[in-house]
């Protein structure tokens, strides 16, 4: 059972032995702020190839962990990235059609969870896409992309029904993972029947 209010103690393996660090689970606002600070910069390499990077993401995660750390020794930016990786784990294991909606199942810290979601309208998906990802063209064949977690949370809240596996509200990063997986499954089944077209 996932409970975002419960303190979390992680043991980091180091050459000098295990390092025990206690943290609290980040708030939705903190996850959103971290995501906003992580700009994905893509550079065109020509011939249809490109390279993507997240400049400064090590420092972003180090500052993020400093904010949520409750106890334990200092951690460097690479250890901080490991901690964030554990806290942000949310693997969608299945998306199943259920009447006029879907059941999304996820593996999360502390076990498994599921959420029932109604089918989105085309208008809802269009509005979500306009807000969720924004890209800015930069000089020298580069572009910068950012992700807005709040857009995902708004649509999730509008679509979601019963949840299991949570003793507290669904965190924003789990909302995003469930929503994106559900939309992908929904759109994979879209199409127009051509029985009466010809």
Q: At what angle do helices 77-87 and 57-68 cross, to 10 degrees?
A: 70
The confidence score (pLDDT) of residue 193 equals 46
The confidence score (pLDDT) of residue 162 equals 95
What residues does each domain of the chain span? 8-187
The confidence score (pLDDT) of residue 188 equals 85
Q: Which two tokens stand for residue 3?
A: 């409970």
Q: What is the pLDDT of residues 75-113, one digit of tens each?
A: 999 999 999 999 999 999 999 999 989 999 999 988 999
Computed over every residue of the chain, the mean pLDDT equals 89
The confidence score (pLDDT) of residue 139 equals 79
The confidence score (pLDDT) of residue 190 equals 56
Q: How far apart are CA 26 and CA 9, in angstroms?
A: 14
Q: Which of 38, 42, 36, 31 is closest to 57 using CA atoms?
A: 38
Q: How far apart are CA 94 and CA 34, in angstroms?
A: 27
The confidence score (pLDDT) of residue 194 equals 53
Residue ranges, the chain, pLDDT below 50: 191-193, 197-198
């Amino acid at each position: 059972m996932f409970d975002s209010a419960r303190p979390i103690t992680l043991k980091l393996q180091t050459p000098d032995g295990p390092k025990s660090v206690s943290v609290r689970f980040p708030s939705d606002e903190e996850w959103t702020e971290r995501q906003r600070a992580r700009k994905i910069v893509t550079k065109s390499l020509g011939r249809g190839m490109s390279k993507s990077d997240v400049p400064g993401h090590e420092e972003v995660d180090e500052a993020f962990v400093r904010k949520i750390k409750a106890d334990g020794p200092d951690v460097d930016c690479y250890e901080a990235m490991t901690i964030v990786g554990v806290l942000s784990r949310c693997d969608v294991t299945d998306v199943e059609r259920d009447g006029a909606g879907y059941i999304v199942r996820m593996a999360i810290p502390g076990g498994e969870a599921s959420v029932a979601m109604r089918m989105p309208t085309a208008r809802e998906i269009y509005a979500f896409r306009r807000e969720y990802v924004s890209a800015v063209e930069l000089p020298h064949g580069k572009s910068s992309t950012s992700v807005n977690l709040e857009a995902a949370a708004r649509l999730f809240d509008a679509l979601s029904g019963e949840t299991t596996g949570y003793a507290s509200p669904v965190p924003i990063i789990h909302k995003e993972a469930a929503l994106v997986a559900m939309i992908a499954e929904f759109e994979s089944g879209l199409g127009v029947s051509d029985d009466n077209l010809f």
